[in-house]
Amino acid sequence: MNKLYKYSLDCGRMGSIDGIFIADDAAIVEAIGKTADFGECLGKHSDIQAELVADDFTVASDDPEFIAKCEEILGVSISGFNPLDYLNRDDDEDADPDE
């Protein structure tokens, strides 16, 4: 089931990485424990990499009608960073090397 999630990663004095996006529960569960590589998103030499933990995700809404309307108008990545887009593919043991 799709839900509207908020993601927030505190990066200390450099700032934070935040995002609002729509994702399936299974995708979030699968991503927990994997590394997201955000690159230099907080400025030169920031090179942010973080292991995704459940506490960084908050369900903002699980109302299917609201989520369907948001997805129709805004897409799945609504604002900021969607950490699922930054997963380190080296974490996938079953990943196809041709992808």
Q: What's the per-residue H, E or C state across 5-73?
A: EEEEEECHHHCEEEEEEEEEHHHHHHHCCCEEEEECCCCCCCCEEEECCHHHEEEEECCHHHHHHHHHH
pLDDT tens per residue, range 20-64 = 999 999 999 999 999 999 989 888 888 889 999 999 999 999 999
| pLDDT in the model for residue 92 | 58
16, β-bridge pairs: 10
Mention every residue, 6+ apart, whose C-beta is less than 8 A from residue 83.
7, 9, 17, 19, 31, 36, 38, 52, 56
Distances (CA, A) of 19 to 10, 27, 51, 62, 71: 12, 16, 16, 17, 15
Indicate whether 98 pLDDT > 70: no
Q: What is the pLDDT of residue 13?
A: 87
**pTM for this entry:** 0.82
